Amino acid sequence: MPAPTVPTDLERWLASNDQRIHDELFEFLRIPSVSARTEHNPDTLAAAHWLERKLAAIGFTAETIPTPGHPVVLGEWRRAPAGAPTVLVYGHYDVQPPEPLELWTTPAFEPTIRDGKLFARGSVDDKGQLWIHVKALEAHLATRGTLPCNVILLAEGEEEVGSEHLAAFIKGHAERLACDAVVISDSSMFAPGIPSILSSLRGLAYFEINVVGPSSDLHSGMYGGAVVNPAMALAHILSTFHDKKGRIAIKGFYDKVLPFPKAVLAGMKKLPFSDTRFKKDVGVKTLGGEAGKTTLEKLWTRPTLEVNGMLSGYTGEGAKTVLPAKAMAKVSCRLVPDQDPKVIERLLKAHVKKVAPAGVTVTVEALHGGHPWRADLAGKIFDAASRALHAAFGRAPIIQGEGGSIPVVVDFQKILKVPVLLVGFGLPGENAHAPDEWILVDNFRRGLRAIATLWDEYTK
Amino acid sequence: MPAPTVPTDLERWLASNDQRIHDELFEFLRIPSVSARTEHNPDTLAAAHWLERKLAAIGFTAETIPTPGHPVVLGEWRRAPAGAPTVLVYGHYDVQPPEPLELWTTPAFEPTIRDGKLFARGSVDDKGQLWIHVKALEAHLATRGTLPCNVILLAEGEEEVGSEHLAAFIKGHAERLACDAVVISDSSMFAPGIPSILSSLRGLAYFEINVVGPSSDLHSGMYGGAVVNPAMALAHILSTFHDKKGRIAIKGFYDKVLPFPKAVLAGMKKLPFSDTRFKKDVGVKTLGGEAGKTTLEKLWTRPTLEVNGMLSGYTGEGAKTVLPAKAMAKVSCRLVPDQDPKVIERLLKAHVKKVAPAGVTVTVEALHGGHPWRADLAGKIFDAASRALHAAFGRAPIIQGEGGSIPVVVDFQKILKVPVLLVGFGLPGENAHAPDEWILVDNFRRGLRAIATLWDEYTK
């Protein structure tokens, strides 16, 4: 088979509309649709309506459908030839909170290009990647007046707060959302120039631990030494979560962990990955985690437990001699097949109960969870993606795992019972949830071409 | 010896001037002399000048002496008969910030009497207690035209911000401040109706620990499991500070701890103290600290290590899947004789260095420190205080320790080389550094009588 190429008509249209495509993306990125903050609810809604209008403008029927949380934007184009397949493209229009604001080089909601990177909150996660799909569809409709397959585009506004209402939405609209494959671009490539298809995602079980001691903050001199300090109690609890070898010391935690397919593990070892480079990117001299595992194994195939946040007592400038009344930690586990977030919740709660010292009250609240996922790496949509990526990036994609979680992937697969293709255009170091989030402009352009090509390849 | 009594002339004068004494105190309390806030600098200076005028009005020579910070008010009366001793009375005219304002029942700087308590910022800490001394001196001078001893009254304006310039002031004026004893009323009685003399104060060594890992916050999914988490590292460090018996596990920490005098420990056991009541006051069901020690032993005679504050990563509402770049804790030790804050700093730093995991950079900064203090409970000034308190409160005082720190006590003792008497009229629960600070009106009245009597007893 000859090396696949981007169809000439689509390539020409994308090249000549490049500036407009960027300008519109900038508009999208300027809307601070921070789903976690109720004060941004009007912005989040504005982003939904903006997207709905853009879908209508390219020839889709589009509507913004309310949920008990942020709405779903649903675009549909169903005029493909009889017998053509239907694909569902999923993305999200909400973004992470931008804080800490002072660490952004340029403002989070003022998109700026520097050194070939487009910086903005949402640039890669996920507005930029969602925009790739919208504009790839427009390329087809604008040049040919048609698409080779029926397309449903579903964009939610709650991905960054756990997609609370999405599963119910999919279930409630299962007939309307019926399709042959789901395509999602909300992930990263393995490395610059190396297009990637995801083979697995880790699941998530996120908790808040609250430790309450005395009924109010106490003077540490007048009371210190006789009252159990909630911050010390919390530190003790957190310190019991790992053993000395970096393994999670919660009883039963690893019971349901399946071994990864040998072929995937073998492929992993061949990838051009360097610990030295990884350390440099992250800014550390020594790596951590489970003894005896490679970094990619740790990131893609092993479950974790991390502290995401911690707060107690006086944290301002200088010294305040307070014995805090309470302490809080946010703690989350990444899960791998077949760990279940509900089971992990039960195990973690039992562990905390066992190690919590007397003299304080400890509560554990599950904030949200998602199942881990593993792709079925055979079938039409994967073959098509492989060729489309090859066409846009000049080389065949690699298969990679992913340490993060996209809980909706499991929902789509379970409810719609179709394969899910995860193909993303971010890059390591993109700061998806940190200040100075970026997407490589070149990846955005190649992503557009890859996705535009995908629909041709899928229906060949 | 018959039970001591308040001299009739002083009693009569105090009774007939009661209203004026209260009115003047109200004036003093209305000045918001918050030393921590530069916007209150004019008020802090106004409080100094107000006090200077009042000292002049009772017959003292008085001046407001500048320091690099807030000024010292120095009053002197040196016309006692030849051979009479000289005493130095210390107090402070600055107060804690009043925030949070909304938690005050009546405004912080509008003194109000309710249920026999005088509520105002500074009512007990320390304007009210300083005023006891000024008016007790006036009682002598107004009734007899003289005092039985020479008196230096030194009031500083930086006690609530660490008395930064006081030690230098005492050193720089050591000759002028030469005396036979120092008397300080800036503490509390053991319980209502039980006058108290302080036998000890704990010292302080306050630190900030910073743990730095990756160069920015990371996505906990994409990096979690392979990068050392600074919050987990900090929790681990904090968890190593105590052993299972509640003892501090820093090597050498207890080396310089002197055993407390047996008589003091025995006296402590006889005090009307109830763990049940203490637990109820604090709002906990179980107490903590060193196994095998009573609560009063823990609070007064044993060193501590407490976490005062802790901050890392995401601490807002909901879930954010971040692997924090850094984590911070404020940690402080209360010290007992002969522990030295500088030595404790060295030991704590060595401990942290030993237990800090690889993959993060840990720094420990000493924020401030103060030496512990133990009273020499024999000698003329203590005997006199014992009788004067008996006269005013109808019972002999108890000897009590104090868990908090008053660093200036050590400065006076070291520089002037004289005994320091700590006799205070506050009460547990007085909210010295919190909203609704109060002093019991009855304690204020009895305190006036005790201190007025003290000068007679001291020179008998």
Task: Look up the domain containing A32 and give its range.
Answer: 8-201+372-458
Question: Is residue A412, in this structure, part of any structural domain at all?
Answer: yes
Question: Is residue A139, in this structure, part of any structural domain at all?
Answer: yes
pLDDT at B1: 66
Task: Determine whether B94 is an active site residue.
Answer: yes
Q: Name the 3-class secondary structure at A116.
A: coil
In whole angstroms, give the CA distance from residue A389 to residue A397.
Answer: 6
Query: Do B160 and B56 share a structural domain?
Result: yes
- A307 vs B215, B235, B367: nearest CB: B235
Q: Say which amino acid occupies B336.
A: V
Query: What average pLDDT is seen over chain B?
Result: 95
Please tell me if residue B303 touches chain A, with a CB cutoff of 8 Å. yes
Contact B231 A329 (CB under 8 A): yes
Closest Cα in chain A, distance from residue B452 (Å): 29
When computed from its CA atoms, the radius of gyration of chain B, rounded to whole angstroms, is 24
Query: What is the sign, positive or negative, of the torsion defined by CA atoms of A98, A103, A109, A113?
Result: negative
- B313 vs A235, A307, A368: nearest CB: A307
Query: Do A379 and A363 share a structural domain?
Result: no
Task: Determine whether B9 is an active site residue.
Answer: no
Residues B242, A232: contact at Cβ < 8 Å?
Answer: yes
Query: Do B245 and B167 share a structural domain?
Result: no
**A226 vs B contacts (CB less than 8 Å):** 278, 287-289, 295, 298-299
Q: Which of B310, B335, B370 is the last residue of a domain?
A: B370
- B289 vs A218, A226, A332: nearest CB: A226
Closest Cα in chain B, distance from residue A329 (Å): 8
- B404 vs A219, A283, A432: nearest CB: A219
| A404 pLDDT above the threshold of 90 | no
Q: How many domains does chain B have?
A: 2
In whole angstroms, give the CA distance from residue B458 to residue B460.
Answer: 6
Q: Name the 3-class secondary structure at A427.
A: coil
Contact B289 A225 (CB under 8 A): yes
Q: What is the ipTM of this complex?
A: 0.87
Positions of A marked catalytic: 94, 159
| B41 pLDDT above the threshold of 70 | yes
Measuring CA to CA, how many Å separate A33 from each of A51, A55, A162?
12, 18, 15
pLDDT at A405: 78
A interface test, pick of B223, B228, B293, B334 with most A CB neighbours within 10 Å: B223
**pLDDT grade for A445, boundaries at 50, 70 and 90:** very high
Q: Percentage of residues in chain B with pLDDT exceeding 90?
A: 90
pLDDT at B239: 98
Please tell me if residue B355 touches chain A, with a CB cutoff of 8 Å. no
pLDDT at B90: 98
The gap between the terminal CA atoms of chain B, to the nearest Å, is 13
Q: Name the 3-class secondary structure at A181.
A: strand
pLDDT at A162: 82
**pLDDT grade for B363, boundaries at 50, 70 and 90:** very high
In whole angstroms, give the CA distance from residue A68 to residue A58.
Answer: 28
Residues A321, A313: contact at Cβ < 8 Å?
Answer: no
Contact B309 A309 (CB under 8 A): no
Query: Do A247 and A133 share a structural domain?
Result: no
Residues B139, B14: contact at Cβ < 8 Å?
Answer: yes
Question: Is residue B276, in this structure, part of any structural domain at all?
Answer: no
Q: Which of A336, A354, A370 is the last residue of a domain?
A: A370
Give the mean pLDDT of A378-388.
Answer: 94
Virtual torsion, Cα A387, A388, A391, A396, nearest 10 deg: -50
Q: Percentage of residues in chain A with pLDDT exceeding 90?
A: 87
Please tell me if residue A226 touches chain B, with a CB cutoff of 8 Å. yes
B interface test, pick of A34, A101, A244, A308 with most B CB neighbours within 10 Å: A308
Cα–Cα–Cα angle for B55, B59, B65, rounded to 5 degrees: 40
Closest Cα in chain A, distance from residue B387 (Å): 27
Nearest to A33 by CA among A151, A115, A152, A156: A156
Query: Do B366 and B378 share a structural domain?
Result: no
Span A251-307, pLDDT tens digits? 999 999 999 888 888 888 999 899 999 999 899 999 999 999 999 999 999 999 999
- Window 103-162 of A, Cβ < 8 Å to B: 103, 161-162
CATH classification of the domain holding B137: 3.40.630.10
Query: What average pLDDT is seen over chain A?
Result: 95
Span A198-229, pLDDT tens digits? 999 999 999 999 999 999 999 898 899 999 99
Give the mean pLDDT of B251-274.
Answer: 93
Nearest CA in chain B to A296: B226
Query: Do B412 and B380 share a structural domain?
Result: yes
Query: Do B256 and B192 share a structural domain?
Result: no
Contact A232 B219 (CB under 8 A): no
**A403 vs B contacts (CB less than 8 Å):** 219, 221-225
Question: Is residue B291, in this structure, part of any structural domain at all?
Answer: no
Contact A286 B228 (CB under 8 A): yes
| B347 pLDDT above the threshold of 70 | yes
Span A310-357, pLDDT tens digits? 999 999 988 888 999 999 999 999 999 999 999 999 999 999 999 999
Residues A32, A113: contact at Cβ < 8 Å?
Answer: no
Range from A49-58, B266-275, B432-441 that averages highest in pLDDT: A49-58
| B201 pLDDT above the threshold of 80 | yes
In whole angstroms, give the CA distance from residue A46 to residue A96.
Answer: 16
Question: Is residue B1, in this structure, part of any structural domain at all?
Answer: no
Residue found by looking up tokens 């699941």 in the block: A203
Q: Percentage of residues in chain A with pLDDT exceeding 70?
A: 100
Closest Cα in chain A, distance from residue B143 (Å): 39
Contact B231 A238 (CB under 8 A): yes
| A407 pLDDT above the threshold of 80 | no
B interface test, pick of A208, A223, A299, A301 with most B CB neighbours within 10 Å: A223
Query: Do A116 and A34 share a structural domain?
Result: yes
Nearest CA in chain B to A426: B222
Out of B126, B159, B402, B456, pick the active-site residue. Answer: B159
Question: Is residue B278, in this structure, part of any structural domain at all?
Answer: no
In whole angstroms, give the CA distance from residue B202 to residue B185.
Answer: 17
Span B234-252, pLDDT tens digits? 999 999 999 999 999 999 9
pLDDT at A250: 98
**pLDDT grade for A1, boundaries at 50, 70 and 90:** low
Closest Cα in chain B, distance from residue A227 (Å): 5
Contact A235 B234 (CB under 8 A): yes
Contact A222 B299 (CB under 8 A): yes
**A431 vs B contacts (CB less than 8 Å):** 216
Contact A225 B304 (CB under 8 A): yes
Question: Is residue B334, in this structure, part of any structural domain at all?
Answer: yes
Please tell me if residue A225 touches chain B, with a CB cutoff of 8 Å. yes
Pull the structure tokens for residue B19.
Answer: 């209203």
Give the mean pLDDT of B353-373.
Answer: 95
- B223 vs A218, A320, A403: nearest CB: A403
pLDDT at B342: 97
The 10 Å Cβ neighbour count of residue A175 is: 6
pLDDT at B428: 86
When computed from its CA atoms, the radius of gyration of chain A, rounded to whole angstroms, is 23
CATH classification of the domain holding A340: 3.30.70.360
Contact A288 B317 (CB under 8 A): no
Span B142-177, pLDDT tens digits? 999 999 999 999 999 999 988 999 999 999 999 999
Contact B229 A307 (CB under 8 A): yes
pTM beyond 0.90, yes or no: no
Query: Do A452 and A358 share a structural domain?
Result: no
How many contacts does A have with B, using Cβ atoms within 8 A? Answer: 316
Span B103-137, pLDDT tens digits? 999 999 999 999 999 999 999 999 999 999 999 99
pLDDT at B303: 97
Contact B283 A214 (CB under 8 A): yes
Contact A36 B320 (CB under 8 A): yes
| A15 pLDDT above the threshold of 80 | yes
Alpha-helical runs (H) found in A58-186: 127-144, 166-172
Burial environment of residue A222 by CB neighbours within 10 A (0 to 12, 13 to 18, 19 or more): buried
Virtual torsion, Cα A300, A306, A308, A311, nearest 10 deg: 180
The residues with which B156 forms a beta bridge, in sequence order, are: B92
Question: Is residue B273, in this structure, part of any structural domain at all?
Answer: no
Query: Do B194 and B211 share a structural domain?
Result: no
Span A160-186, pLDDT tens digits? 988 999 999 999 999 999 999 999 999
Query: Do A232 and A148 share a structural domain?
Result: no
The 10 Å Cβ neighbour count of residue A83 is: 6
Q: Which of B342, B370, B398 is the last residue of a domain?
A: B370
Closest Cα in chain B, distance from residue A186 (Å): 13
Please tell me if residue B285 touches chain A, with a CB cutoff of 8 Å. yes
Nearest CA in chain B to A365: B318
Query: Do B385 and B255 share a structural domain?
Result: no
